[in-house]
Each structure stands twice: as structure tokens, then as C-alpha cells.
């Protein structure tokens, strides 16, 4: 009997406990049954039986605690978008760290730069007026589009001698090595320490003293750190962890520009493989959802931030990695990047900035450079045998034969060449590890002046220490190059590779035809013959110019730089013969002879200017693209030169167009179009504009006959900066719009 009573008592206690727990957990069950997408509360609230209950029974604190982020505004928003709450609740701004940008009514005044703002919301239950504040929430506000006009009115390709500085740093939270050793072998502890220790004035003065006119500098590169403040990086990765408080990039840009030197920011949109596992997960590096949408959201925010901050005053943004074109793009990066979206993002804020990748131009970039860590990288298909590593190093051996610069091949793009043992400084300044001399550098640089038309002749890669010191003997050899270039400056500075005697890719000083390369003045009044491999006699034989130019002849027709001695120039059949006077011998480093052009053609003011398009057929999966949009204004007609092509057929319902930006206004009166294959349009218009918005038709053609090479279209002079050609009917069934060159004259 007692046992039965005890069991009943126990049963009653258990039932009471169950009821108590159920009642106590009722709000939790209701919350758990709700639908939460991200941090936006949507759908219905349900009780334990699945029946819908009114939102008013929910504690506002529960809702406030669930709101941990707000959708970042876009430029199409006039007000901040509030999260969706259950019926019976409202949300409004309670506090804002920058009310001049986001007012408490939610109105947005978009700033000049991306800005990270801290807000909190007030969640109110309408029934009884009870309100609760959320925890602080970060909001990334994009920059306005008021400052997209570039302060630079010349093409990037006119900058002919470059230096590459590779700086990166460890983050501030973890501290530790900055990745860059100081001269004494110590390290800066985090990116703030590194940037605060940087001796910018000394570095800028040294760069100016050694003759460079363009500098590549890394940013948003190693570990994704930035050498400047970045609201976008702070928003995505944690405030102040991967960014610098000091704006080192702005200081570089400003102080170099004061000395006539311009900057390309060399970045890495696929450096996630260097991030920690936690950061990779946070940023979506390992999340393939919607084609790695989260990673692309992160990358595009960062590049929009960079472009809005610096786009007015830089000439380019470079991209590390090979854009899926080569095996080294790689390390988990294949397929992660939305190329088209990234290009559109950057061009929105910096339309004139050239985008430059390590592969050939593609569907994100305009131009290219070539990365050459060590000389055997000059030919990846036939590398030097480097099976035996350097003792105590993971690096391959340094074979002296690799450093015979006369055997290095020419490139029609800019090679970025490491001069010591690494892109950056990784060892204390205790021994000379420079592998090339100033005279070697000079001769290879001169050859590249005649070959590289996509940018600088060469980018010598050597990074100074953060203190402003340089590795042993580097600055001295830079000075040797400068001292050799100065006397013949007019044949290098401000010149382009010759169109009369073009140096194709893959030539060497040892095998270039007749031992010379050539440069030219942009206005075509002079050609400069650089003799790098002297003939046995005092007479140099050169062929007739490929572009049809005619040179002055006679005993005083040629001028030898730098002293002005006169060389005899004669034409004999299919050659020009240049003969030195009896008192002058060939300079074994570089003999420069200036030839005067008779009746030079007018200067093509579209040369190397930026190109925009309706569609363009560049593909990112090949190194051998026939069609590249910047080929349209490179000025070259040699066999195999790149052209522009639309990706779809032109028609009246789907016109295809291409625009050249002349970078400033000219009184233009003629456009020349060079055909490519059968892609010349039958029906097309030529328009001009001063602002890329309001257009005036200056030429209208219907049933135009396809020219054998090129055709001129003259019109009354118009003061304009932009020229657009729009095709609406093709000459063949496929209807693609294709041009090899677009030239503009005043």
C-alpha cells in the first residue's frame, strides 16, 4: 500500500515537472519553430501544436537579439532597408556612428569613400510600446560616383621604365612576422607597425633618382592585408585586423606623382589559399554556393573600395595569379572568380584605370605583364634543370648561364623580373645576392623598349626594406642603368616600339635581325636605331620600313647619340645603309642612330587609349586569343596582331559598338578603320562625344564596301573626347563586328 502511494506521488511529481518545463520552454519552442533566413526574421511564429500565434506574444528582446546584421545599402537605395519582423513589431534606427551619412530616419548620403558605420536598431512591440535595442551592427556604405574622373590624361603604355615593390604584412591581431625582414634581420610586428616604420620619403627619392616613371606596389595581396585603411576589409574580416591605420598607399601615390612617377596597385583577388581556415570559411573561399557568391561579394566590395579611394590617381590595377590560363592558378582558385562582375565593379568607380593580369588580356583585364621569378621562368615550357636545391633553401640553384641577359627573350608585354632571390626582402642586408649587373639590365631594358607595347619595357622587381634601405648593391646598379640611359634619353623616354622595325616576341640580343631594335617618337618624326650587336664593318644594313615610312638620306642624314656626330644614310634597292664616320666606333653596349622621317604621317591620337565595348570575345581559358579589345588601339598591323571582335552578330535590334576614350578633348576630323577578316560592317555610324553621354553623329554609312585594309572617314572638326563606332549590319552571314585598328586624327 505504501509502495503504491509512493509511486503515485512520484508520478504526480513527474507530471508536474513536465508541465513546468513545457511552460518554461514555451517561448523557446515558439522561437525554434520560426523561420529565420540569415538574420532576417520572416514567416509565421508557431506554438507547440503548430498553430499560428500572434507576434505580440514574443518578447522584443528575443527579436532584437536575433538581428545581427542589416543588408548593406547599394547606390540605388535612398534609405537603409530595415529587417522584416513579425506582425506587431517595428524596427527603426536608434543610434548611428555617422549620422551625416545615415540619418536616424534611415536616409543615406553616400560618402566619397566606402565607410563602415556602426548602428543599432530599436525593436518595438506595437501592442504595448515595449522597445529593446539591438546590439551594435556594422553597415558598409558604398562610395558615391562623384569622383570617378581620372586626373591622368595619358595612356599607361607611355610609361616605359618600371619598378615592382612587393610588400605585405602579417595581421595586427596575431602579430608575428610581417613577412618582410628588416636590414638587421628583425621583423615588424603586424601591419600597423610595418606601415608606421615605413620611410616613404627616402624610398620615393631613391626611386626618382634612379629614373623609374612607373611603380607597381602590392596591396590587398599577401594574406589579403592592405597598406591603407579599408572599410570593406574591416567589414568582412574584422575591424583593424587586416588593415593599416596609416594610408601608406595614398602617401606613395601622392609623393611619387609629385616627381612624375605613377602607380599601379598589384593585388591578388585569389589569395584565399593563404588565409586561415577560419577566414576561408568566413569569406566563402570554400563555399561553392551560387558559384562562390560569398567570396565574390567580399572581393568586389574590396575592389570597389580600392577603386573609389585611389582610382583617380593611379594608372592601373594589376592582378596576381594567371586567371585560370596556367596550372598555377591552381591552389584552389579555379572557378572561384566572377571575372565580368569584377571588371564592372572596378570600372564603375575607375573607368580609365587599366586592368592588368599575369596572363594575356582576358575578360577582366585590358593588358598583361609576365612574371619571371628567375631567368628559367622566361621559358616555362623548357625550364633549366633545377633538380638540385640550393643548400639550406627550398629554392632551385642559381645557374650563372641563367643570367646571360643577352640570351633572355623579348616580350611584347612587360616582364616583371626578380633581381635577387625573391620578390620581396626575406633576408638581412649582410651579403650581395644581386644576380645581374647594371650593364646587363641596361641592355635587356633597351631591347624591351623595342618590343613591349603593352606597357613598361621592363619591371625590375626589387623591394626596399621598410626602413628605406635597399639590399646590397641594388641601388648602385639601378644608378648604373640610369647613367647609361640618360645620354640617350630622347631615344627612350616618351617613345614607343617602332612600327617600321617591330621586334617580335621571343627574339634575343644574340639573334635579333641585323643586331638592332628600334623605337619611335609618337608623332612619327623620328626613328631611333639601337644597335645592340654591332656589325663587323662600320656599315649597318637595315630593311625598308614595314609601315612605309621614308627616311632622309645623305652624308649628314643620321645623328649618332649622344654627341651628335653625323652618319651617312643611303637607300640601295630594298635596304637602307647607315655608315658611321671614320672617327666613331660602335658602342658595344648600345649605339643609337636617329633617322629623320620625311613627310611623317600624322599622330594617331587614339594610340593606346582605353577601349570600351558592347561585347568583346576575349576568353579567359587560352593564352592565344586572336581578339583582344586593347589590340584595337595598339597601332600595329603585323601578322598575328590582335584585333577586336563582338561576341554576337550586329543588327538594328542588337547593335554592336566600340568606343575609344581619348582621355581629353581634341578637335578631331578623321577616323580610320582597319578591317579584320570579313568583320567590317556594311551599315554603321561614327559618333563623337565630350562626356560619353551626349553623342553627335558625324558619319553614317549604309551598304559600305569592305576595304582591302583600312578606310578613312573625314568630317567637320568636332571637339570631343570619345569616338564610338556602332555597327547594325555585317558583311557576312555571321555578322560579327571586327576591326584590327581604330585610329583618330585631328
Residue-wise pLDDT tens digits, 526-546: 999 999 999 999 999 999 999
Mean pLDDT of 487-512: 94
Domain check: are 41 and 21 in the same one?
no
Mean pLDDT of 474-488: 97
Which cell numbers in the block locate residue 425? 626582402
Pairwise CA distance, residues 210 & 212, whole Å:
6
**Residue 354 pLDDT exceeds 60:** yes
**Residue 609 pLDDT exceeds 80:** yes
How does residue 44 score in pLDDT terms, banded at 50, 70 and 90? very low
**Residue 174 pLDDT exceeds 70:** no
Structure confidence at residue 188 (pLDDT): 84
Structure confidence at residue 630 (pLDDT): 87
- What are the tens digits of pLDDT across the range 424-439? 888 888 887 788 899 9
Domain coverage including residue 17: 1-29
Pairwise CA distance, residues 254 & 251, whole Å:
5
Domain check: are 713 and 729 in the same one?
yes
Structure confidence at residue 17 (pLDDT): 56
**Residue 329 pLDDT exceeds 70:** no
Mean pLDDT of 103-116: 97
Query: 295 lies in a domain?
Result: yes
Least confident of 42-56, 105-119, 580-594, 732-746: 42-56
Domain boundary pick from 141, 169, 195: 141
Structure confidence at residue 46 (pLDDT): 41
- What are the tens digits of pLDDT across the range 23-36? 444 443 333 333 33
Cβ neighbours of residue 289 closer than 8 Å, sequence gap 6 or more: none
How does residue 333 score in pLDDT terms, banded at 50, 70 and 90? low
Query: 477 lies in a domain?
Result: no
- What are the tens digits of pLDDT across the range 675-727? 998 899 999 999 999 999 999 999 999 999 999 889 999 999 999 999 999 99
Structure confidence at residue 709 (pLDDT): 87
Structure confidence at residue 189 (pLDDT): 82
* Higher pLDDT, residue 726 or 637: 726
Residue 362 and residue 616 in contact, taking contact as beta carbons nearer than 8 Å: no
Q: What is the dihedral of CA 211, 214, 220, 223, to 10 degrees?
A: -40
Least confident of 242-251, 612-621, 732-741: 612-621
DSSP state of 177: -
Neighbours of 160 (CB within 10 A): 24
Residue 354 and residue 316 in contact, taking contact as beta carbons nearer than 8 Å: yes
Pairwise CA distance, residues 454 & 630, whole Å:
9
Which among 612, 601, 539 has a CA at the least distance from the CA of 570? 539
Sole residue written with cell 513579425: 86
CATH code (residue 686): 2.60.120.260
CATH code (residue 559): 2.60.40.1180
Structure confidence at residue 385 (pLDDT): 40
Name the 3-class secondary structure at 561: strand
* Higher pLDDT, residue 144 or 637: 144
Query: 250 lies in a domain?
Result: yes
**Residue 18 pLDDT exceeds 60:** no
Domain boundary pick from 596, 628, 650: 596
> What share of the chain has pLDDT > 70, as a percent?
84
**Residue 55 pLDDT exceeds 60:** no
**Residue 256 pLDDT exceeds 60:** yes
**Residue 324 pLDDT exceeds 60:** no
Q: How does strand 89-96 pair with strand 45-46? A: unpaired
Mean pLDDT of 400-419: 84
- What are the tens digits of pLDDT across the range 130-154? 999 999 999 999 999 998 888 999 9
The per-type count for the chain, helices as H runs and strands as E runs, is 12, 31
Structure confidence at residue 325 (pLDDT): 44
Query: 606 lies in a domain?
Result: no
Query: 317 lies in a domain?
Result: yes
Mean pLDDT of 448-452: 96
Q: Could you give the C-alpha distances from 488 to 459, 514, 526, 611, in angstroms and in order?
A: 20, 21, 14, 33
Cβ neighbours of residue 531 closer than 8 Å, sequence gap 6 or more: 515, 516, 540, 586, 587, 590, 591, 592, 593
Domain check: are 198 and 311 in the same one?
yes
CA atoms within 13 A on the CB side of 169: 30
Residue 161 and residue 211 in contact, taking contact as beta carbons nearer than 8 Å: yes
Residue 120 and residue 138 in contact, taking contact as beta carbons nearer than 8 Å: no
How does residue 640 score in pLDDT terms, banded at 50, 70 and 90? low
Query: 514 lies in a domain?
Result: yes
Domain boundary pick from 141, 169, 201: 141
How does residue 392 score in pLDDT terms, banded at 50, 70 and 90? very low
How does residue 638 score in pLDDT terms, banded at 50, 70 and 90? low
Query: 492 lies in a domain?
Result: no
**Residue 264 pLDDT exceeds 90:** yes
Structure confidence at residue 555 (pLDDT): 95
Structure confidence at residue 179 (pLDDT): 60
> Three-state secondary structure along 573-607?
CCEEEEECCCCCCCCCCCEEEEEEECCCCCCCCCC
> What share of the chain has pLDDT > 90, as a percent?
68
Domain check: are 691 and 671 in the same one?
yes
How big is the chain by its Cα radius of gyration, in Å? 32
Which among 161, 260, 254 has a CA at the least distance from the CA of 200? 254
Mean pLDDT of 474-490: 97
Domain check: are 395 and 430 in the same one?
yes
Domain check: are 340 and 413 in the same one?
yes
CATH code (residue 300): 3.20.20.80
Pairwise CA distance, residues 212 & 441, whole Å:
13
Neighbours of 728 (CB within 10 A): 20
How does residue 401 score in pLDDT terms, banded at 50, 70 and 90? low
Pairwise CA distance, residues 55 & 32, whole Å:
14
Mean pLDDT of 164-174: 79
* Higher pLDDT, residue 731 or 318: 318
Mean pLDDT of the chain: 86
Domain check: are 23 and 41 in the same one?
no
Least confident of 223-232, 336-345, 442-451: 336-345
Structure confidence at residue 274 (pLDDT): 87
Sole residue written with cell 552571314: 733
Structure confidence at residue 45 (pLDDT): 43
Domain check: are 585 and 619 in the same one?
no
Structure confidence at residue 30 (pLDDT): 38
Query: 302 lies in a domain?
Result: yes
**Residue 604 pLDDT exceeds 90:** yes
Domain check: are 63 and 124 in the same one?
yes
Q: Could you give the C-alpha distances from 257 to 169, 207, 237, 315, in angstroms and in order?
A: 25, 12, 31, 11
- Single pTM value for the model: 0.88
- Angle formed at CA 527 by CA 526 and CA 531, multiple of 5 degrees: 145
- What are the tens digits of pLDDT across the range 217-228? 999 998 899 999
Structure confidence at residue 373 (pLDDT): 64
How does residue 393 score in pLDDT terms, banded at 50, 70 and 90? very low
Structure confidence at residue 573 (pLDDT): 85
Domain check: are 367 and 247 in the same one?
yes
Specify the number of domains making up the chain.
5
Domain check: are 370 and 441 in the same one?
yes
Cβ neighbours of residue 416 closer than 8 Å, sequence gap 6 or more: 164, 216, 369, 370, 371, 372, 459, 461
Residue 487 and residue 445 in contact, taking contact as beta carbons nearer than 8 Å: no
* Higher pLDDT, residue 231 or 647: 231
Mean pLDDT of 62-69: 94
**Residue 516 pLDDT exceeds 60:** yes
Domain check: are 506 and 360 in the same one?
no
Amino acid at each position: 500500500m505504501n509502495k503504491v502511494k509512493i509511486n503515485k506521488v512520484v508520478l504526480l511529481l513527474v507530471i508536474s515537472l513536465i508541465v513546468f518545463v513545457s511552460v518554461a520552454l514555451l517561448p523557446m519552442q515558439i522561437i525554434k519553430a520560426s523561420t529565420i533566413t540569415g538574420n532576417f526574421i520572416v514567416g509565421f511564429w508557431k506554438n507547440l501544436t503548430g498553430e499560428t500565434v500572434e507576434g505580440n506574444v514574443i518578447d522584443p528582446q528575443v527579436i532584437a537579439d536575433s538581428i545581427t546584421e542589416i543588408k548593406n545599402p547599394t547606390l540605388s537605395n535612398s534609405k537603409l532597408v530595415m529587417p522584416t519582423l513579425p506582425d506587431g513589431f517595428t524596427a527603426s534606427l536608434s543610434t548611428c556612428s555617422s549620422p551625416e551619412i545615415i540619418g536616424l530616419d534611415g536616409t543615406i548620403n553616400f560618402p566619397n569613400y566606402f565607410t563602415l558605420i556602426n548602428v543599432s536598431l530599436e525593436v518595438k512591440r506595437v501592442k504595448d510600446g515595449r522597445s529593446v535595442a539591438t546590439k551594435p551592427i556594422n553597415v558598409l556604405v558604398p562610395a558615391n560616383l562623384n569622383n570617378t574622373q581620372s586626373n591622368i590624361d595619358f595612356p599607361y603604355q607611355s610609361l616605359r621604365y618600371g619598378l615592382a615593390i612587393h610588400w605585405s604584412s602579417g595581421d595586427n591581431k596575431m602579430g608575428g612576422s610581417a613577412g618582410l625582414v628588416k636590414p638587421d634581420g628583425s621583423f615588424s610586428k603586424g601591419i600597423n607597425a610595418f606601415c608606421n616604420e615605413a620611410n616613404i620619403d627616402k624610398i620615393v627619392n631613391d626611386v626618382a633618382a634612379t629614373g623609374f616613371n612607373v611603380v607597381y606596389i602590392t596591396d590587398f595581396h599577401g594574406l589579403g592585408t592592405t597598406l591603407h585603411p579599408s572599410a570593406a576589409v574591416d567589414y568582412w574580416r574584422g575591424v583593424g585586423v587586416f588593415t593599416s591605420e596609416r594610408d601608406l598607399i595614398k602617401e606613395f601615390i601622392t609623393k611619387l606623382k609629385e616627381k612624375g612617377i605613377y602607380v599601379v596597385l598589384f593585388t591578388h583577388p585569389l589569395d584565399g589559399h593563404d588565409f586561415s581556415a577560419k577566414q576561408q570559411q568566413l569569406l566563402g573561399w570554400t563555399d561553392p554556393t551560387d558559384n562562390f557568391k560569398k567570396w565574390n561579394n567580399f572581393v568586389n566590395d574590396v575592389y570597389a573600395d580600392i577603386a573609389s579611394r585611389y582610382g583617380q590617381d593611379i594608372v592601373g590595377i594589376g592582378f596576381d595569379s594567371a586567371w585560370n590560363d596556367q596550372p598555377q592558378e591552381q591552389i584552389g582558385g579555379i572557378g572561384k572568380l566572377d571575372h565580368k562582375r569584377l571588371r564592372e565593379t572596378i570600372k564603375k568607380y575607375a573607368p580609365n584605370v587599366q586592368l592588368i593580369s599575369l596572363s594575356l588580356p582576358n575578360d577582366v583585364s585590358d593588358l598583361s605583364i609576365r612574371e619571371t621569378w628567375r631567368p628559367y621562368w622566361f621559358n616555362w615550357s623548357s625550364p633549366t634543370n633545377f633538380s638540385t636545391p640550393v643548400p639550406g633553401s627550398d629554392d632551385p640553384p642559381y645557374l650563372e648561364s641563367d643570367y646571360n641577359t643577352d640570351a633572355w627573350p623579348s616580350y611584347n608585354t612587360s616582364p616583371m623580373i626578380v633581381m635577387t632571390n625573391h620578390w620581396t626582402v626575406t633576408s638581412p642586408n649582410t651579403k650581395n645576392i644581386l644576380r645581374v649587373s647594371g650593364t646587363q639590365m641596361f641592355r635587356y631594358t633597351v631591347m624591351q623598349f623595342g618590343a613591349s607595347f603593352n606597357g613598361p619595357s621592363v619591371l625590375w622587381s626589387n623591394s626596399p626594406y621598410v626602413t628605406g634601405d635597399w639590399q646590397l648593391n641594388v641601388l648602385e646598379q639601378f644608378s648604373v642603368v640610369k647613367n647609361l640611359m640618360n645620354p640617350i634619353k630622347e631615344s627612350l623616354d616618351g617613345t614607343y616600339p617602332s612600327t617600321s622595325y617591330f621586334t617580335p616576341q621571343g627574339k634575343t640580343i644574340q639573334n635579333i635581325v641585323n643586331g638592332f631594335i628600334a623605337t619611335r617618337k609618337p608623332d612619327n618624326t623620328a626613328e631611333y636605331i639601337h644597335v645592340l650587336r654591332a656589325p663587323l664593318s662600320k656599315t649597318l644594313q637595315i630593311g625598308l620600313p614595314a609601315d612605309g615610312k621614308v627616311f632622309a638620306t645623305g652624308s649628314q642624314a643620321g645623328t649618332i647619340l649622344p654627341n651628335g656626330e653625323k652618319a651617312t644614310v643611303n637607300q640601295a634597292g630594298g635596304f637602307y645603309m647607315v655608315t658611321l664616320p671614320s672617327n666613331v666606333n660602335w658602342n658595344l653596349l648600345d649605339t643609337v642612330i636617329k633617322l629623320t622621317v620625311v613627310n611623317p604621317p600624322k599622330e594617331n591620337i587614339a594610340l593606346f587609349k582605353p577601349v570600351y565595348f558592347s561585347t568583346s570575345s576575349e576568353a579567359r581559358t587560352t593564352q592565344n586569343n586572336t581578339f583582344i579589345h586593347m589590340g584595337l588601339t595598339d597601332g600595329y598591323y603585323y601578322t598575328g596582331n590582335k584585333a577586336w571582335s563582338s561576341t554576337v552578330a550586329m543588327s538594328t535590334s542588337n547593335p554592336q559598338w566600340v568606343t575609344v576614350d581619348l582621355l581629353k578633348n581634341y578637335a578631331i576630323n578623321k577616323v580610320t578603320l582597319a578591317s579584320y577578316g570579313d568583320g567590317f560592317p556594311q551599315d554603321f555610324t561614327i559618333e563623337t562625344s565630350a562626356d560619353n553621354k551626349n553623342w553627335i553623329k558625324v558619319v553614317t554609312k549604309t551598304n559600305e564596301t569592305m576595304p582591302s585594309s583600312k578606310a578613312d572617314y573625314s568630317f567637320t572638326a568636332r571637339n570631343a573626347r570619345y569616338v564610338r563606332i556602332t555597327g547594325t549590319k555585317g558583311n557576312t552571314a555571321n555578322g560579327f563586328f571586327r576591326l584590327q585598328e581604330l585610329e583618330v586624327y585631328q
